[in-house]
Every structure is written in structure tokens, then in C-alpha cells.
Amino acid sequence: MSRTLAQIAQYVNGQVVGDPDYLVHSVGTLTQAGPEQISFLANKKYRKFLHTTRAGAVIVTTGLGEDLSCNLIEVADPYVAYARIAAMLHPEPFKQPGIHPSAWVHPDAEIADNVSIGPQVSIEAGVKIGRDSVIAAGCVLEANVKVGQDCRIKPNVTLCHEVMIGDRVIIHPGVVIGADGFGIANDNGQWIKVPQVGSVRIGNDVEIGANTTIDRGAIDDTAIADGVKLDNQIQIAHNVIIGEHTVIAGCVGIAGSTRVGRHCAIGGGTGIAGHIEIADGVQLTGMSMVTKSITESGVFSSGIPAEPAKQWHKNVIRYRQMDKLTERVKQLENQLKD
């Protein structure tokens, strides 16, 4: 789908420096793009590549102040403009509306106009799917699931009974939403199941990465607010609440009943204990271990980065001796006092 730079600039409210009639058909990186592709510069680190790129055009920040031979599109925020241009040049593959003959849809399900239901799908009674949504191959929507408008449910996703999904939600393959939370009660040494009678509510404009799991609430619902973006293999336990526009990287685990604020950013591999609160605007660097509430915004971290194994081994031993070391320092202090 080729577009002129003039068309592209207009779409992102930018200005062409160069040939407005120049045609590009796809996006590329500064180092790999060819003359029919458009690239972008969002990170100063890659500025040097502007002089050697073969890209037909480059999206840059307004007033870059470089004298370049290639076409430019100047915008306020090149990465945001790039995201929009890439979506324009690389539209999603068209999905035929209708129900694939190999899908099974319960007659009591309500499927709106222009919905595409792929092969081998299973949709139970009481399900409602809003218009323009796509349910890809192999998905299972249990009884009474609600999916909003313009959603993309990718292959092999499981939405358990009663789960509610907002509009414009993207759910990647292998995701499980609404499985039972981990509720057990100890009955004289044996664990018995505590029924999980809540559900899961997913807001609008949420994206959920592959093989992520979000459990249904024990009594009240688990809730993911509007604009939240979740990466792959995240585990969200029952009754967790995630605030608007929070982003969470891969392999994070959040234990039950914890509330995460709005506009947080949680690094990959982080673990967050149950029954605590994370304030709005908190950033956690990767692999953090959070055991207590964080009451103010800011950047928080934990973990000691890898080092050569011999040195690691020595440091672990020293760590174990810190108590003794503190004691030795105290004795020295006492001796000097005398």
C-alpha cells in the first residue's frame, strides 16, 4: 500500500522536507530500509545512521538541524508518528466476516455485524460479541462471555465463563482469562477448594500478551482498567486491580488482591506480593521483588546483577558474614573508646 510523503505527513500532522510526491510502501530500520521504505529516528544513539541510510524517507523530530540528502518528515514525536505510519502502511490482514464452517457457535450466542469467527472456535450459550471483532482459530469462549467492539482475539485464547472484555482489546495467543483463582482452605491438613465466584473485567484499549493468565476473582471481580498494556507470560492473581494506562513487561507475577496504580511501569520478571498497594506512577526495574506497599511514585529496584561465578560465590559468603562483621566493627569501636 504505497503512499506519498505528503499523504503520510498530513496523516501525522508533520512537514515534508524534500519531495512530497515520493512514494514509500513500508517501514524499515535506518540500517536495513531501502529506497521504497520509510524509517525513523527516535533515539539519538542512532543519529549517525542518518548519513548512510538508504531509506526513501526518515521521520525525525522537528528542527533536527542536520543537513541531509534524504527526504524527511518532521514531527513533534517521531516514535508516535512512526507507530501511526506503520499502522497505515501495514494494515492488518483482512478477516472475512462470518462464522467459519468448522466453528461451533451456540444458537443462544449474540454475534454482532461484521464479526469474524475463525476455524475450530467454540462459543457457548449467552456469549455476546460486539461488531467488527475477530475471534481467531481455536479460541474457546465459555458461557456468557462478553467481548466488545473491534476486538482482536488471537488464536487458542480461552475466555472463561462470564468474563467481560471492553472495546478495541487485543488478546494474543494462548492467553487464559478467568480461570479459577488459587483459593484453598486448610481443612485439618488437607486443602479444599474455595469456589471462585467472581469474574474478570477488562477495560477498553487493553492489550494482553501471549500466554498471560488473569484469574477470576474469589468473590468480587479481578479488574484491568482502560489502556493497560500487558506483555507475555504475566500472571495476575484473583482480585488484583490494575489502574489505567499501566504497562507491565513479560514474566511478571502479581499475587492476589494487590492494587497497582495508574500510569505505572513494571519491569520484566518482577514479583509483587499479595494484599498490597502500588501507588500511581511507580516504576519498577526488571526482576524487582516487592513485598510491601509502595505509597509514592518513583523508581524502585531490587536484585544484584550477575557477576563472574567465583566473585559471586565470594560475595555470597561475605553477605552471610555481615552480622559477624558488624559485630567486629562494634568491638573495634568499643576498644577505641576505652
Q: Which is nearer to a second copy, 113 or 188 (CB)?
A: 188
**Residue of 25, 90, 172, 238 marked active site:** 238
Which are the contacts of 44, defined by CB distance < 8 A and separation ≥ 6?
Answer: none
C-alpha cell recorded at residue 311: 566473585
Q: Which is nearer to a second copy, 130 or 152 (CB)?
A: 152
263 is catalytic: no
C-alpha cell recorded at residue 271: 514479583
Q: Which is nearer to a second copy, 44 or 292 (CB)?
A: 292
Q: Which is nearer to a second copy, 19 or 35 (CB)?
A: 35
C-alpha cell recorded at residue 113: 455485524
Q: Cα dist. 79→86, 137, 231, 263 in Å?
A: 10, 32, 19, 19
Nearest approach in angstroms of CB 139 to a second copy is 8
**Cα torsion 308, 313, 316, 318: sign:** negative
Which of 59, 30, 35, 34 has the alpha carbon at shortest distance from 45? 30
For helices 309-320 and 322-337, give the axis angle rounded to 10 degrees: 50
Three-state SS at 116: strand
Q: Which is nearer to a second copy, 64 or 137 (CB)?
A: 137
Give the sheet arrangement for strand 122-123, strand by strand. 104-105, 122-123, 140-141, 158-159, 176-179, 213-215, 235-236, 253-254, 271-272, 289-290
Nearest approach in angstroms of CB 78 to a second copy is 10
- Residue 268: CB atoms within 10 Å: 18
CB-facing half-sphere around the CA of 216: CA atoms within 13 A: 19
Q: Exposure of 328 by Cβ count < 10 A (0-12 exposed, 13-18 middle, 19+ buried)?
A: exposed
CA–CA dist 12, 20 (Å, integer): 14
Nearest approach in angstroms of CB 22 to a second copy is 20
Q: Which is nearer to a second copy, 20 or 286 (CB)?
A: 286
Nearest approach in angstroms of CB 326 to a second copy is 6
Nearest approach in angstroms of CB 199 to a second copy is 12
Nearest approach in angstroms of CB 67 to a second copy is 26
Q: Which residues are catalytic?
A: 238
